[in-house]
Amino acid sequence: MFEIREDFYWNGKPIKIISGAIHYFRVVPEYWEDRLRKLKAMGCNTVETYIPWNFHEPKEGQYDFDEMHDVTKFIETAQSLDLFVIVRPASYICAEWEFGGLPSWLLKDKDMKLRTYYEPFLDKIDRYFEVLFKELIPLQATHGGPIIMMQVENEYGSYNNDKDYLKVLIDMMKKHGVDVPLVTSDGTWLDMLENGTVPEKAHPTVNFGSDVADHFGKLEHFIGKDSPLMVMEFWIGWFTAWGNEKYNRTDYQEQAEELRNILNKGHVNFYMFHGGTNFGFTNGANYYDELTPDITSYDYDAPLSEWGDITEKYKAFREVIQEFTSEELPTLPDPVKKTDYGNVPLKSRTSLFENLDNISEKVTSPYTLSMEELDQDYGYVLYRQNSGNKRKVEDFRLLGTSDRAQVFLNEALELTQYDKEIGQKETFELTEDDMTMAILVENMGRVNYGPRLKQQSKGITDGVFLNGAYRSGWTHYPLPLDNIEDVDFTKPHKENTPSFSLFELEIDEKVDTFIDMTGWGKGAVFVNGFNLGRFWEVGPQYKLYVPAPLLKEGDNQIVVFETEGKVKEELAFTDKPPY
């Protein structure tokens, strides 16, 4: 039995929690055991994971707990390795994950109030929790499982101070069967701790990346000297955004000393132990002065790399952890095998415009519809209409549009706007009668942190303004690209337009590899129908990690969707990681 008294106890004896974060939703299931074994070999006795709501209820009332979504299997795998588990099942998780884990379909309600005591929001959480906790309740330590703690919400003190909301979440969790100790996690600013904690119902923990004495001192002052100190997120790395000059990196030697200070005073959860990958369109974004969407890699400069390699940081942390345990740590596992499959020639290429009717069901409306109004979560929407007779357009504006828009006239690219550029006035010529305007809008990832959570509708929400008036009569083509097998490669390709490129990789053995997208423009790569993630020529990521389980012996179909007209005649596979 796990208890929180003046310290953490397991079966009546004090225990030091040394935990590491692994997000099962960022790792292919075939590698869960490998990553967990490496966690244990570093000296951890616990694994922590978030649970993203939008991953398990992608459409309202439709739940998914199979294959990569099988959180039960992940937790049971941890238990088989004698690891404890900390679960953070909040409706909101942040995690640099799309919309912080909130389902985008919440935004269909124009009056929706997120992360506060708003009954329509709470009702939807309650229905989700009813399903989710049926998976988790049997896995609690009180039922013979490995789950020792669950977290309420996430860093709520940096968003709001609605204690009624926190209390109803706690009551909701208990109603659905949670009986292990509850915790909260927040920064150590006094306002954050006061806003985000309910000490009488959930044990407060904190998040930081340095200055242990200062942060633990603030926590101790807040909760008193007779409570255990824990850093729920010891930030030993950081995430990287598209357009950054390079991958974010930290000084592991300084962090190893900070780890020693933490373990001398309390308990730790590494954020992240193993970051994994933002597969598909699941990356989140931040918005301070500008939009900064996260890259496909969630390597996070973690002790275990995105592709499962042990790093110098891992070894340094392992040495420190060994100081705090009397048992000899497991031997280090062998490196992950990687291979170079070489360059694969292009088999076929076709234009997006030629494929709209076979990969999308068009929706007509007098006005532009947002992505959410189209019942779409991720990807792209193509808006199309007839722009009328030839004339000069002296005032063209996209209003309420997120996040990146390309405007085509008769399928020729006229302009591209991104983030702050959107809404600026543009001028151009309509050179022919009955010209067709097509606007391809990409959701680059909904913001996952901060006050902008409330403004995360994607697509064109307000309209298209042309020569002093809104344009009406739109045909919409939702493009979540979840049906890549419907692309018809017998249809023609037009240069300098968005396209699909087909490559066939013939292999005898499935081995981890990397696809080098240097020289390509912007888009996403699909391996045997699985959306591997985005690429973008702005960097700093130019290679995409391909876990071996996504491949199959024999023929593999690789499809590259590219939007800028910057394509190559071959696809390069390499055994060399991005760095």
Which helix (H) or strand (E) covers residue 134, if one does? helix 119-136
Which helix (H) or strand (E) covers residue 163, if one does? helix 163-175
pLDDT at 90 over 90: no
Tokens of 167: 């209390």
State the average pLDDT over residues 345-372.
98
What integer pLDDT is reported at residue 333 of this predicted model?
86
- State phi, psi for 486 to the nearest 5 degrees: -90, -5
Q: Could you give the residue numbers annotated as active site? A: 155, 233
What integer pLDDT is reported at residue 454 of this predicted model?
87
Integer angstrom CA distances of residue 288 from 64, 170, 451, 571: 33, 31, 10, 36
pLDDT at 521 over 90: yes
- State phi, psi for 542 to the nearest 5 degrees: -120, -10
Beta bridge mates, 310 = 304
Instruction: Classify 167 in phi/psi space as left (phi over 0), alpha (psi -120 to 50) or beta.
Output: alpha
Class of domain 367-472: mainly beta
pLDDT at 35 over 90: yes
What integer pLDDT is reported at residue 302 of this predicted model?
98
CATH architecture of 342-349+483-574: Sandwich (2.60)
What integer pLDDT is reported at residue 489 of this predicted model?
98
- Residues 6 or more apart from 172 whose CB is under 8 A from it? 122, 125, 126, 129
Cα angle value 211/93/7 (rounded, 5°) = 50
pLDDT at 579 over 90: no
pLDDT digits (tens, 9 = 90+) for 326-346: 889 999 988 889 999 999 999
pLDDT at 461 over 90: yes
DSSP-derived secondary structure for 64-107? --SGGG-HHHHHHHHHHTT-EEEEE--S---TTBGGGG--GGGG
What integer pLDDT is reported at residue 135 of this predicted model?
98
**For the chain, domain boundaries:** 2-322, 342-349+483-574, 367-472
Reported confidence tier of residue 258, pLDDT bands at 50, 70, 90: very high
CATH architecture of 2-322: Alpha-Beta Barrel (3.20)
What integer pLDDT is reported at residue 566 of this predicted model?
98
Tokens of 242: 């598209």
- Residues 6 or more apart from 40 whose CB is under 8 A from it? 81, 82, 83, 330
pLDDT at 558 over 90: yes
pLDDT at 365 over 90: yes
Per-residue DSSP letter, 378:
S
pLDDT at 152 over 90: yes
What integer pLDDT is reported at residue 334 of this predicted model?
86
Tokens of 522: 């912007």
State the average pLDDT over residues 119-139.
98
Cα angle value 329/260/309 (rounded, 5°) = 50
State the average pLDDT over residues 294-318.
98
Q: What percent of the chain has pLDDT over 70?
A: 100
Identical fold, 2-322 and 342-349+483-574:
no
pLDDT at 299 over 90: yes
Report the chain's mean pLDDT, rounded to a whole number: 97
Beta strand segments in 225-341, E: 230-235, 267-274, 285-287, 291-293
What integer pLDDT is reported at residue 287 of this predicted model?
97
pLDDT at 163 over 90: yes
pLDDT digits (tens, 9 = 90+) for 486-500: 999 999 999 999 999
What integer pLDDT is reported at residue 504 of this predicted model?
98
State the average pLDDT over residues 449-466.
95
pLDDT digits (tens, 9 = 90+) for 177-223: 999 999 999 999 999 999 999 999 999 999 999 999 999 999 999 99
d(CA 3, CA 148): 8
Integer angstrom CA distances of residue 156 from 171, 178, 554: 17, 20, 49
pTM, rounded to two decimals? 0.97
State the average pLDDT over residues 548-558.
98
What integer pLDDT is reported at residue 307 of this predicted model?
98
